Amino acid sequence: MSETTVLLADDHALMRAGLHQLVDGFVGFKVIAEANDGREAVRLVRELEPDIVLLDITMPGLNGLDAAALITKMASHIQIVILSMHTTENYVLEALRVGAVGYVIKNAAVDELERALRAARNGERWISPTVSHHLLDDYLRLVRKETATQSGSGSSVLTLRQREILQLIAEGCTTREIASRLCVSARTVETHRAQLMERLNIHDVAGLTRFAIRSGLIDPSC
């Protein structure tokens, strides 16, 4: 059997170095690239087409959940495993919703990461035991009940592009900087900003920033 290729994405160099060494030590797995943010991860996936992407959630520029959504849309055959410090249900369910097949807690034992990667390679789901097992059943029930109306509240009411722009606004980027990063015009950024403010009924940057923090798009400690 050929080696299963893995792309790592985490904004902490020491974490990536440790993960790189761990994954390369698992029989049958090989790390072929590292990314320090979500946008670089998406670019490298497009270039290298790894078998598995191991993604942190909290990363600058583009968080891991939105990166996972882009990767799933671009290459649905690539398996995504989320590695995160977050154990709350909303993070886990969102990770599953955007296409992840695995969710590993950062303080988990080494063998949990290996089991998650092997499950992903086999097309199976795997979630750290510290996260309630009933979440999988709950998720599948939610998926079956989803409708085109996108009922509910929170960042899920936004489009992926609006979530990208919201995160960049909350990180302090100017309209020109956002336009440059996303390769769109400043007018397009302003249009998306106006639409997301209207949809969220929030009309200032401070309010958007607070919403982004509550939704887990950015880490308030960074």
Q: Which residue has the tokens 């882009």?
A: 70
192-216 confidence digits (pLDDT tens): 888 888 888 888 888 888 888 777 7
Same domain, 35 and 103: yes
Confidence grade of residue 1 (pLDDT, cut at 50, 70, 90): low
| Tokens standing for residue 197 | 């403010």
Same domain, 8 and 117: yes
Same domain, 180 and 123: no
Same domain, 38 and 71: yes
Same domain, 190 and 125: no
How many Cβ atoms from other residues are within 10 Å of residue 78's Cβ? Answer: 19
19-74 confidence digits (pLDDT tens): 999 999 999 999 999 999 999 999 999 999 999 999 999 898 899 999 999 999 99
CATH of the domain at 104: 3.40.50.2300
Structural domain contains residue 219: no
Same domain, 78 and 161: no
**CA distances to 158, 171, 179, 198, 200 from 187, in Å:** 19, 20, 9, 17, 20
Structural domain contains residue 20: yes
Looking at 120, 145, 170, which one is the last position of a domain?
Answer: 145
Same domain, 9 and 63: yes
Helix/strand/coil for 30: strand
List, edge to edge, every strand of the sheet that includes 102-105: 29-35, 4-9, 52-56, 79-84, 102-105, 126-127
Residues 152 and 15: their CA atoms lie apart, in Å, by: 35
Confidence grade of residue 153 (pLDDT, cut at 50, 70, 90): very low
Same domain, 105 and 165: no
Looking at 110, 145, 180, which one is the last position of a domain?
Answer: 145
| CA end-to-end span of the chain | 42
Same domain, 171 and 129: no
Dihedral (CA of 201, 217, 71, 152) sign = negative
Same domain, 193 and 85: no
- Please count the structural domains in the chain: 2
Q: Is the pLDDT of residue 175 over 60?
A: yes
pLDDT average, residue stretch 157-173? 85
User: Which has the higher per-residue pLDDT, 1 or 50?
Assistant: 50
Contact 186, 26 (CB under 8 A): no
User: Which has the higher per-residue pLDDT, 115 or 143?
Assistant: 115
* HSE value, Cβ hemisphere, 13 Å, CA-based, for 92: 25
* pLDDT for position 136: 57
Structural domain contains residue 107: yes
pTM for the predicted model, two decimal places? 0.69
Looking at 115, 145, 175, which one is the last position of a domain?
Answer: 145
Q: Is the pLDDT of residue 137 over 90?
A: no
Same domain, 138 and 191: no
* pLDDT for position 26: 96
Q: Which of 25-34, 70-79, 80-89 has the lowest mean pLDDT?
A: 80-89
Q: Which domain holds residue 23?
A: 4-145
Structural domain contains residue 222: no
Q: Is the pLDDT of residue 149 over 80?
A: no
Structural domain contains residue 52: yes
* pLDDT for position 138: 56
Structural domain contains residue 150: no
* pLDDT for position 71: 95
User: Which has the higher per-residue pLDDT, 17 or 90?
Assistant: 17
Residues 169 and 205: their CA atoms lie apart, in Å, by: 7
